[in-house]
């Protein structure tokens, strides 16, 4: 795939994209470490390697834009502007977490910023966010909705039902497939008859585009075009971002990873963060000192989030019965 053209983005915005991608990377590194240390419970799915997708897409949305995520959701939360303290507190199972300790890694949501939640069911979020797209259409204020999902979800029924209905109703939707080549332990090659998920768009009469999911500007440009199309009332776009997860499906100790080590290493050489750093340096927008400052700022925010989580109270047992029903 060709490199994206130099984007018409102000330098500050480009540096902000790098800062967000670094924040995701460092957050995930810390989440993995704290999970293995027993401080985070249940299960954690790492987004490392896919940072350019969440940041590239969310950089085209204003605060009113709505997104939905997957079981691998931390990156989307951060890219949409979620509060690191409340995210980390949720992973730590604390009262101050986004879900008051009832959701954990797979269910972080912040409706106030249009983040309609991570979701533990593959393809589970696609219909929900399509309803948010319908809401945006009914509101008539130019809002758009973005469904993030993986290559695995593209083989499940709701993907097909929702692309059809969104196309038929011209809903202001972006369907963003993060094709990392693997649905849990199963390769996409073994489960897809067609190489590109984007090719399926033809079946719904909508555009389907393939982009280098490790090139944040390429993702940004594709998403930007799709947002403009959605706002113009022309309906949804399917964007397939070819990317890779560096780590196994989950962070569980002893997790089997059937992938060829050479395949993993080849993708790690296409690090989306290193790529963006290089381009910012080439354009003279970033130097060693600037990068060190950014790293320091990001690490400070992660450390503060961990400190906030550790200082936060655990839920009370009697809170288990709160919020089953809304008032």
Partner 1 sequence: MRELTYNEAALEAIAEEMRRDPRVFYMSTDALPPLMNEFGPSRIKVTPIAEAAMTGMGIGAAGSGFRPIVDWRQVTFCFVAMDQIVNQAAKIHYMFGGQVTFPMLFRASVGGGSQVAAQHSQSPYSMFMNVAGLKMFLPSTPYDMKGLIKTAIRDNNPVISFESGRLMGRKGPVPEGEYTIPFGKADVKREGSDVTVVALAWLVHEALAAAEALAKEGISVEVVDPRTLVPLDTETIRASVRKTGRLVIADEAGPTAGFSAEVAAVVTEDAATFASLKAPVKRVCALQVPIPYSPVLENAVFPDRNRIIAGIREVLQGRRSAAAA
Residues that bind partner 1 (CB under 8 A): 66, 68, 97-103, 107, 109-112, 116-117, 119-121, 124, 126-136, 138, 145, 157-158, 161-162, 164-165, 168, 322-327
Nearer to partner 1, 59 or 119 (CB): 119
| Cα angle: 120, vertex 74, 49; to 5 degrees | 105
Spatial separation of the C-alpha atoms in residues 73 and 128, rounded to whole Å = 15
Nearer to partner 1, 44 or 273 (CB): 44
The DSSP bridge partners found for residue 187 are: 182
Residue 55 to residue 9: CA distance in whole angstroms: 14
| Collapsed DSSP state (helix, strand, coil) of residue 108 | coil
CB of 159 to partner 1, least distance (A): 10
Nearer to partner 1, 163 or 226 (CB): 163
- Look at residues 219, 203, 209, 191 and name the one whose alpha carbon lies nearest to residue 275: 219
| Radius of gyration for the alpha carbons in the chain, expressed in angstroms and rounded | 19
Both tokens of 73, joined, read 């959701």
Quote the Cα angle for 47-116-177, to 5°: 45
The alpha carbon of residue 215 and the mean position of all alpha carbons in its chain are separated, in whole angstroms, by: 14
Which residues are paired to 146 by β-bridges?
Answer: 67, 174
Instruction: Report, in Å, the least distance between residue 107 CB and partner 1.
Output: 5
Q: Looking at beta carbons only, is 48 or 99 nearer to partner 1?
A: 99
CB 179 within 8 A of CB 98: no
**Residue number, 38 or 325, with CB nearest to partner 1:** 325
Closer of 109 and 198 to partner 1 (Cβ): 109
**Closest distance between partner 1 and the C-beta of residue 172, in Å?**
12
C-alpha distances in angstroms, 3 versus 146, 244, 283?
24, 17, 15
CB of 155 to partner 1, least distance (A): 14
**Least gap, CB of 127 to partner 1 (angstroms):** 2
Q: Name the minimum Å distance from CB 99 to partner 1.
A: 4
**Could you tell me the smallest distance in angstroms from the CB atom of residue 67 to partner 1?**
11
Residue 93 or 272: which CB sits closer to partner 1? 93
3-state SS assignment for residue 112 = helix
Least distance between partner 1 and beta carbon 161 (Å): 4
Looking at the Cβ atoms of 22 and 145, the one nearer to partner 1 is 145
Strand extents, DSSP E, the chain = 66-68, 145-150, 173-179, 182-183, 186-187, 208-212, 237-242
Query: Which residue has 């910012």 as its token pair?
Result: 280
Which is nearer to partner 1, 79 or 145 (by Cβ)? 145
* DSSP codes, 155-200: GSHHHHHHHHHHHHHT--EEEEEEE-SEETTEEHHHH-SSS-GGGG
């Amino acid at each position: 795939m060709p490199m994206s053209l130099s984007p018409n983005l102000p330098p500050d915005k480009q540096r902000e994209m790098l800062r967000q991608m670094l924040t995701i990377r460092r957050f995930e590194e810390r989440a993995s470490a704290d999970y293995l240390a027993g401080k985070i419970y249940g299960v954690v799915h790492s987004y490392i390697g896919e940072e350019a997708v969440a940041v590239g897409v969310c950089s085209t949305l204003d605060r009113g834009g709505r997104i939905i995520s997957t079981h691998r959701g931390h990156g989307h939360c951060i890219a949409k502007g979620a509060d690191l303290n409340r995210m980390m507190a949720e992973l730590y199972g604390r009262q101050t977490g986004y879900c008051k300790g009832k959701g954990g890694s797979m269910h972080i949501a912040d409706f106030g910023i249009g983040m309609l939640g991570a979701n533990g069911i593959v393809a589970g979020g696609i219909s929900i966010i399509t309803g948010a797209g319908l809401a945006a259409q009914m509101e008539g204020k130019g809002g758009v909705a973005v469904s993030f999902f993986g290559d695995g979800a593209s083989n499940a029924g709701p993907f097909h039902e929702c692309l059809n209905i969104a196309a038929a109703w011209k809903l202001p939707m972006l369907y963003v497939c993060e094709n990392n080549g693997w649905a849990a332990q199963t390769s996409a090659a073994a489960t897809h008859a067609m190489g590109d998920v984007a090719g399926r768009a033809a079946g719904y009469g909508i555009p389907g585009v393939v982009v280098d999911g490790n090139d944040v500007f390429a993702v940004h440009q594709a998403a930007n075009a799709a947002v403009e199309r959605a706002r113009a009332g022309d309906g949804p776009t399917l964007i397939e971002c070819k990317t890779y997860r560096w780590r196994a499906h989950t962070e569980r100790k002893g997790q089997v990873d059937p992938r060829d080590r050479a395949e993993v290493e080849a993708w790690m050489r296409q690090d989306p963060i290193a790529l963006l750093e290089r381009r910012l340096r080439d354009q003279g927008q970033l130097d060693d000192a600037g990068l060190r400052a950014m790293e320091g700022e990001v690490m400070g925010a992660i450390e503060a989030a961990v400190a906030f989580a550790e200082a936060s109270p655990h839920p009370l047992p009697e809170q288990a019965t709160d919020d089953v029903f809304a008032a």
